[in-house]
Amino acid sequence: MMDSKLVAIVRALPMEELEAVSAALIAGGVTVLEFTIDHDAKDCVKSTCRKIAYIAEKYADKIHVGAGTVLSVAEATEVRAAGASLIISPNTNIEVIHYTKNAGMLSIPGAMSPTECVLAHQAGADYVKLFPAGELGIGYVKALMAPLRHIPFLIVGGITPDNIRDYLKLGVCGFGIGSGLLPAAMVRNKDYAAIQKLAEQYINLVKDS
């Protein structure tokens, strides 16, 4: 599922933009889409479930669809019913990890400290999402991974075409990229060709490394 080493994080996207933006990312080579639960929005879980169900059915043979910012087992249950095959969180919640694995889904909890990373890994996470990597910096990621290289890490936050290969050299397994793949201006201007081109650039960078 993580062969492409890239998860496209789709956050706060209006339903009317869903198909065009998803199609552009997929055309650019993205094979894993994460639709976040935006907890500051009304009916956020239902809204995310609608997006997941639509894209999971339309592109069932092309991509894996995940739910992001999943904070509880109740939320994980709803997005699973909608068709999500990955559960991604900003935090380490042992109950969510156990539910995800028992349901046969891919578990990607978030962690920042060594204690959280080890806890998530020992609980059964398939990957540990190191977040927020951009604020922590590559020096922190390198120091953290030195004793924890047995843990498969995904890096989220602050990833750009200029630094992505530096992180790959550390031995990380992949990346979650949000605004770097979907700049607000491109979405607002409906510049789907530019979104596809940006996706291609990221995919080629990780593919060639």
pLDDT digits (tens, 9 = 90+) for 120-136: 999 999 999 999 998 89
Give the residue-averaged pLDDT of 36-56.
96
Cα separation, 6 vs 61, in Å, equals 18
* Superfamily in which the 6-207 domain is placed by CATH: Aldolase class I (3.20.20.70)
Q: What is the pLDDT of residues 151-173, one digit of tens each?
A: 999 999 999 999 999 999 999 99
From 37, 9, 39, 63, select the one nearest 176 (Cα to Cα).
Answer: 9
Whether the predicted pLDDT of 32 surpasses 90:
yes
What's the chain's average pLDDT?
Answer: 95
Whether the predicted pLDDT of 13 surpasses 70:
yes
pLDDT at 3: 74
Instruction: List 129's β-bridge partners, or say none.
Output: 110, 154
Give percent of the chain above pLDDT 70. Answer: 98
Annotated catalytic residue within 5, 17, 34, 101: 34
Q: What is the pLDDT of residues 85-112, one digit of tens each?
A: 999 999 999 999 999 999 999 999 999 9
pTM score > 0.85 for this model?
Answer: yes
Annotated catalytic residue within 5, 75, 78, 129: 129
Residue 129 catalytic?
yes
What are the extents of the domains in the chain? 6-207
pLDDT at 174: 95
CA quadruple 128, 73, 157, 201: dihedral sign: positive
User: Contact at 8 Å (CB) between 109 and 103?
Assistant: no
pLDDT band at residue 209 under the 50/70/90 scheme? low
pLDDT at 207: 85
pLDDT band at residue 4 under the 50/70/90 scheme? confident
pLDDT at 100: 98
CA quadruple 158, 88, 199, 181: dihedral sign: negative
User: Contact at 8 Å (CB) between 157 and 138?
Assistant: no
pLDDT band at residue 1 under the 50/70/90 scheme? low
Residue 34 catalytic?
yes
